[in-house]
Amino acid sequence: MIEGLQLRHYSADEAKEILDQLVRLYLEVYAGCGEFYSEDRYRRQLNLHMQRAGWELVTATVGGALVGYIYGFPLPIQTRWWEGIHGPVPPGFTEEDGRRTFALSELLVHPNWRRQGIARALHHDLVDSRAESRSTLLARPTNVAALAAYRSWGWIKITKLQPNWNDAPIFDVLVRNATGNHTYSSG
């Protein structure tokens, strides 16, 4: 682990104070990845997500500088998260009760700080502390390093999904059960 690495949890209200830092790091991480990763779209996404009950952010700083973060929220009963799903999924897979699934929306680390255990520390700190029975995330199929990390942390691919955002790419849908036992077949 990196000397001086500090992790801090934020509620949505607390995170508003560092919103510009979050957006700046996001833009650095996704520079050159296409219009979907624009500042305007990400600010709208953050604004919508921060309004979700149970939204939580964990930041990673070294020497006071933001080097990475992770955030997510529990999926409500009436969620749009699963809209755009491709192909068949196991029966009941998209049914939510407000306590079943934690949606991991972002996990990112500045390129200069990658491969030093920061993503793993952020992931475990947030995901392992959740009470929901499972977590889900969307990952770009071309992000081989991230997919390998997720697999090593117990995530499995279920299907693909294309969010209802302009210029949205198609993502892999991954799921991780809190118990580590997977009841869904991978796709």
Q: What is the chain's alpha carbon radius of gyration, rounded to the nearest angstrom? A: 16
* pLDDT given at position 35: 82
Percent of the chain clearing pLDDT 90 (strictly above): 80
* pLDDT given at position 181: 46
Which amino acid is present at 181? N
pLDDT at 186 over 50: no
pLDDT at 70 over 90: yes
Give the chain's domain count: 1
Answer yes or no: is 32 within a domain: yes
* pLDDT given at position 23: 96
The band of 60, judged by pLDDT with boundaries at 50, 70 and 90, is very high
Average pLDDT value for residue range 29-57 = 91
Answer yes or no: is 183 within a domain: no
Distance CA 122, CA 59 (A): 7
Distance CA 33, CA 10 (A): 28
DSSP bridge pairs for 56: 72
* pLDDT given at position 180: 52
8 A C-beta contact, residue 82 and residue 94: yes
Domain of 67, CATH number, reads: 3.40.630.30
Answer yes or no: is 187 within a domain: no
Distance CA 129, CA 142 (A): 29
If you write DSSP's letter for every residue of 96-138 in order, what string do you get?
--SSSEEEEEEEEE-GGGTTSSHHHHHHHHHHTT--SSEEEEE
Answer yes or no: is 55 within a domain: yes
Average pLDDT value for residue range 106-113 = 95
Phi, psi (5° rounding) for residue 183? -100, 0
Task: Specify the higher pLDDT residue, 187 or 65.
Answer: 65
Distance CA 11, CA 156 (A): 28
Answer yes or no: is 29 within a domain: yes
Task: Specify the higher pLDDT residue, 180 or 91.
Answer: 91
* pLDDT given at position 178: 79
55: domain range? 5-177
* pLDDT given at position 179: 63
Answer yes or no: is 182 within a domain: no
* pLDDT given at position 160: 95
Report the chain's mean pLDDT, rounded to a whole number: 91
Tell me the pLDDT tens digit for each residue of 120-177: 999 999 999 999 999 999 999 999 999 999 999 999 999 999 988 777 889 999 999 9
Answer yes or no: is 10 within a domain: yes
pLDDT at 108 over 70: yes
Answer yes or no: is 117 within a domain: yes
